[in-house]
């Protein structure tokens, strides 16, 4: 029963499973937030496999596997647009979307997405902010979704508990530490400074001139 969850990269032979998972998820999980007409406009049938396969291959696409079956997938393009994120209706609320998202977001400074009404709270809990509500018209049917974005530098700090806030100046070799919020310290040669204590990591000076020595603990966001 307790089969491990595996996240791996997409291969073309997954396409048919992803397309049917999408169709089924939209018509069950999303049914609580959209009318039948809206669901039919959103996912009228199993998507065009040729087009979907092409976009999955162009994007970074990850597939979640459990019990030897596809239980979720997500994809993001090279600009940080998180295109799709769907989890099988029988595998909701098991952390699968979070795990996929963690891996999709890696290496982007900013990620944007068009979140459904159903997915909005999930993205909000991950630190995405609402940019605007929008109406997408498909087959003369209007669907509400939300343009949301997450910027990483800020969030990294918000999601981390700072244990030690310190750097080593590469020019003079001094290690400087900020121990409380307004503890602003320059190194002895004046090339760099730290501030923020345990509240935020503020740096003055060219990042090439210092070595980051801070110790942070990741705070669980769920
Ligand atoms: Zn220095």
Q: What is the pTM of this model?
A: 0.69
What's the CA-to-centroid distance between 98 and ligand 1, angstroms?
Answer: 41
The CA distance from 127 to 121, in Å, is 10
Tokens of 188: 């002895």
Contact of 141 with 200, CB cutoff 8 Å: no
Chain-wide mean pLDDT for the chain? 91
What's the CA-to-centroid distance between 160 and ligand 1, angstroms?
Answer: 26
Q: Which tens digits make up the pLDDT trace of 107-138?
A: 788 899 999 999 999 998 888 889 999 999 99
The CA distance from 134 to 51, in Å, is 25
What's the CA-to-centroid distance between 181 and ligand 1, angstroms?
Answer: 21
What's the CA-to-centroid distance between 164 and ligand 1, angstroms?
Answer: 19
Query: Does 173 have pLDDT greater than 80?
Result: yes
Contact of 7 with 99, CB cutoff 8 Å: yes
What's the CA-to-centroid distance between 169 and ligand 1, angstroms?
Answer: 5
What's the CA-to-centroid distance between 188 and ligand 1, angstroms?
Answer: 5
Q: Which tens digits make up the pLDDT trace of 87-96?
A: 999 999 999 9
What's the CA-to-centroid distance between 168 and ligand 1, angstroms?
Answer: 8
Range(s) for CATH 3.40.630.30 in the chain? 6-108
Query: How confident is the model at residue 203, as a pLDDT?
Result: 83
What's the CA-to-centroid distance between 17 and ligand 1, angstroms?
Answer: 57
The CA distance from 72 to 22, in Å, is 9
Please tell us whether the domain made up of 6-108 is placed in CATH 1.10.8.50.
Answer: no
State what percent of residues in the chain have pLDDT above 70.
94
Residue 129: other Cβ atoms inside 10 A: 11
Say if strands 202-204 and 141-151 run parallel, antiparallel, or are unpaired. unpaired
Nearest to 101 by CA among 79, 72, 121, 78: 72
Q: Positive or negative, the Cα torsion across 113, 105, 85, 16?
A: positive
Distance between first and last Cα of the chain: 24
Contact of 141 with 41, CB cutoff 8 Å: yes
What's the CA-to-centroid distance between 170 and ligand 1, angstroms?
Answer: 7
């Amino acid at each position: 029963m307790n089969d491990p969850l595996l996240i791996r990269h997409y291969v073309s032979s997954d396409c048919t499973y992803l397309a049917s998972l999408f169709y089924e998820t939209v018509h069950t999980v999303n049914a609580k937030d959209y009318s039948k007409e809206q669901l039919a406009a959103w996912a009228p049938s199993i998507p065009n496999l040729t087009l979907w396969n092409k976009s999955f291959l162009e994007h970074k696409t990850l597939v979640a596997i459990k019990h030897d079956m596809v239980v979720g997938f997500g994809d993001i393009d090279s600009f940080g647009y998180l295109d799709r994120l769907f989890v099988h209706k029988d595998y909701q609320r098991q952390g699968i979307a979070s795990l996929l998202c963690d891996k999709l977001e890696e290496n982007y400074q900013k990620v944007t997405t068009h979140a459904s009404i159903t997915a909005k709270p999930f993205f909000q809990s991950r630190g995405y902010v609402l940019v605007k509500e929008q109406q997408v018209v498909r087959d003369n049917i209007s669907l509400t979704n939300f343009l949301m974005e997450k910027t990483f530098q800020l969030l990294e700090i918000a999601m981390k508990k700072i244990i030690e806030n310190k750097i080593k100046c590469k020019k003079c070799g001094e290690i400087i530490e900020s121990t409380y919020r307004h503890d602003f310290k320059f190194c002895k040669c004046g090339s760099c400074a730290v501030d923020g204590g345990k509240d935020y990591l503020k740096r003055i000076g060219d990042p090439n001139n210092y070595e980051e020595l801070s110790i942070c603990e990741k705070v669980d966001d769920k």
